[in-house]
Amino acid sequence: MNEHLAGVTILAFGNTSPDVLVNLAEVKASKAVFANSMASSIFVTMFTGGLVCYLSPFRMNAHATVRDILFIMLGVVLIEYVLKQDYKVDIFECMVLVMLYISYLLVNMLDLYMMRRTIKAIEKKIEDLRNQPFSFPRRRKRRMYERQLNEMLNDFEIDVKTKGKRRGERVSGRRSIDPTTTRNIKYDAANSKNVNLFREAWQAVKPINMDEWRRYGIFWRSYLLVKAPVVGVCALFLPLVNHEVDKHGWCKLLNCIQLFTTPSLIFLMGMGYYDRSRNIWYLEIDMTYVPYILPLLPLSLIIFLHSRTDIPPYYHFIFTYLNVAGSMFIIYVCATEIDKIFDLIGTVLDISEDFMGVTLSCACGALGDLVTNAALALQGYEKMAFAATLGGPFFNLLIGTGSTFLGRIYFGLEVEWEEQIGEYGNNCIIFLLLGLSTTLLWSSVLDFRARRSMGIFNILVYALFVLFNVLAENSIVHSYANDIYLEVI
């Protein structure tokens, strides 16, 4: 994969899947799913995308950016048409939404395949020109091909990077690393298979970085103390696979324990959420499911006996999927609980559910996208992060909304326009199309160079969206919702 394809597929799936699961968990509820999905898309494309541009300005992939923006606009218009055609949705129309997303994935994959074919063809042409006798026309032609090749190689593949350092000081920018070197850096065949077994496990789960603790003052230390419980839980629950660090993050004892505990917690707590009624504010874990997860114990023991502490095994990449599943589950749990908390706040303060859905709830639900994409941008993967701010909303709009529609049809419930659009759905349609259009405009004008000023501009577009909804909620301005006409007799 290149950075763009990874962003619109893997990263978009991971960021948006919890939102889809939350909608499916409450498929029987009368919520404006389409309006909430569009509001979440506005937050991700405008606020998160603007933050990525502000944190790390970069040169966009021109064709991919235009294509993704147009696909999102097509998806919004298509869902609106499906809902308004006869004000109901059937299974065939849901399948059309799914097929559009599959077409989007195929187009992205085909684009990468054609890029690779083109790169090989250009390299062959450059080599042929070098073997020919010198002439000024041939030199100009070769330089033209070399410029095209350099531009395509920038978007060709993911370059694993790490922070550059010199004499203990951080150097601006990033440098490429060799994953093989970081994998074998601690390997010594003379060591035993369990050298430093418990010491490495303690270092992996230690919630506070002592180097940071000694280097900074009281405010940063307070921050480290506040986040220590979260860091500790994540270290115990999520296996680390990171090519930037020594041994790719492999910790033999901890990873073998996580191979059993992480799937067990996901399965047991997940079934508890599945069985929990929507009106119950606590979670019951049914221990009758325990026999289904006991086969993981011998698997953990086999890996412990086979692996070494000083080098990760060749199947270490499998723990990536375990990390993804655990991360998605943690985000799902947080999103579910935040959603219930805001339901309670809205009920107590007498705030309409539609307004909460398109403002606070959608923003809190998309905080995972914000943190992930901002962290990637700071690490030097801004192209991947920006691609995820386009691919994630498209996945949420088509797959998230479409799967919710299918779920309601499966349970014999109708999918109607008034219910799915809510009070603020038309506002979301207008501002989402407006934000995407302005992004398409400034990216084209600036030759697809994402600047800090344009990041601020996108953030202000989202602020304008929130302000408009607040004013409409307080009846200060008229929203784009349809007026209700009363016939006087």
425 Cβ contact list (under 8 Å, min separation 6):
32, 34, 35, 38, 481
- 467: tokens are 């302000």
Q: 3-class DSSP state for residue 60?
A: coil
Element spanning 384, H or E? helix 382-395
Establish if 359 belongs to a structural domain.
no
Residues 285 and 241 in one domain: yes
170 domain residue, yes or no: no
Mean pLDDT of all residues in 268-297: 69
Report yes or no on 276 lying in a domain: yes
Q: Is residue 439 part of a domain?
A: yes
Q: Tell me if 148 is assigned to some domain.
A: yes
Q: Is residue 47 part of a domain?
A: yes
- Least-confidence region, from 232-241, 314-323, 362-371: 362-371
- The per-residue pLDDT for 411 is 82
Residues 137 and 195 in one domain: no
**Is it the case that residue 278 has pLDDT exceeding 80?**
no
| Alpha-carbon gap, residue 281 to 338, rounded angstroms | 12
Whether residue 112 is found in the same domain as residue 240: no
Residue ending a domain, among 310, 338, 357, is: 310
Least Cα distance to 15 among 338, 270, 391 occurs for: 391
Rg (CA), the chain: 25
Residue with more model confidence, 395 or 31: 395
Buried b (16+ CB within 10 A) or exposed e, 402-419: bbbbbbbbeeeeebebeb
Provide the mean pLDDT of the chain. Answer: 84
Task: In whole angstroms, give the CA distance from residue 391 to residue 41.
Answer: 10
CATH number at residue 423: 1.20.1420.30
Domain stops at, among 273, 291, 310: 310
- Asked whether residue 279 carries a pLDDT value surpassing 50, the answer given is no
Q: What amino acid is encoded at 344 in this protein? A: L
| pLDDT mean over 19-31 | 74
43 shares its domain with 153: yes
Domain that holds residue 427: 3-159+380-474
The total number of structural domains in the chain stands at 2
**What integer is the mean pLDDT of 228-256?**
88
Whether residue 459 sits in one domain with residue 401:
yes
Nearest CA to 472 out of 419, 417, 414, 430 is that of 430
* Higher pLDDT among residues 353 and 484, named by residue: 353
Q: In angstroms, rounded to a whole number, what is the distance separating the alpha carbons of residues 156 and 61?
A: 11
Residue-wise pLDDT tens digits, 160-217 = 555 544 333 333 445 567 778 888 888 888 888 888 888 888 888 888 888 888 888 8
Look at residue 328 in the predicted model and tell me its pLDDT.
79
In sequence order, the β-bridge partners of residue 169 are 166
pLDDT at 169: 37
Say which range, 11-15, 73-77, 202-206, 278-282, has the weakest mean pLDDT: 278-282
- CA–CA separation, 123 and 120 (whole Å): 5
Instruction: Check whether 364 has a pLDDT greater than 70.
Output: yes
Give the pLDDT confidence score for residue 172 in this predicted structure. Answer: 42
More confident residue, 395 or 487: 395
Residue 59 has φ and ψ, to the nearest 5°, of -100, 120
Tell whether 10 and 136 lie within a shared domain: yes
Structure-token pair, residue 118: 């083109």
In this prediction, residue 475 carries a pLDDT of 85
Q: Are 47 and 369 in contact (CB under 8 A)?
A: no
What spatial distance separates the first Cα and last Cα of the chain, rounded to whole Å?
66
Residue 49 pLDDT > 90, yes or no? Answer: yes
Residues 144 and 196 in one domain: no
Least confident of 33-37, 149-153, 235-239: 149-153
Q: Helix, strand or coil for residue 122?
A: helix
* Phi-psi region at 196: left, alpha or beta (left = phi > 0; alpha = psi -120 to 50): left
Asked if 479 and 89 touch (Cβ cutoff 8 Å), the reply is no
Phi/psi of residue 450, nearest 5 degrees: -75, 115
Tell me the average pLDDT across 305-321.
88
Same domain, 29 and 152: yes
Q: Is residue 393 part of a domain?
A: yes
Confidence class for position 446, pLDDT limits 50, 70, 90 = very high
pLDDT at residue number 174: 52
Q: Which among 255, 288, 310 is the end of a domain? A: 310
Whether residue 341 lies inside any domain: the answer is: no
Is the same domain home to 106 and 246?
no
Domain co-membership, 69 together with 9: yes
Do residues 152 and 118 make contact, with C-beta atoms less than 8 angstroms apart? yes
Burial of 163 from C-beta contacts in 10 A (0-12 / 13-18 / 19+) = middle
Which residue(s) pair with 450 in the sheet? Answer: 58
Domain shared by 201 and 147, yes or no: no
**Same domain for 124 and 227?**
no
Mark 264-299 as b/e (b = at least 16 C-beta within 10 Å): bbbbbebbeeeeeeeeeeeeeeeeeeeeebeebeee
- Name beta bridge partners: 165: 170
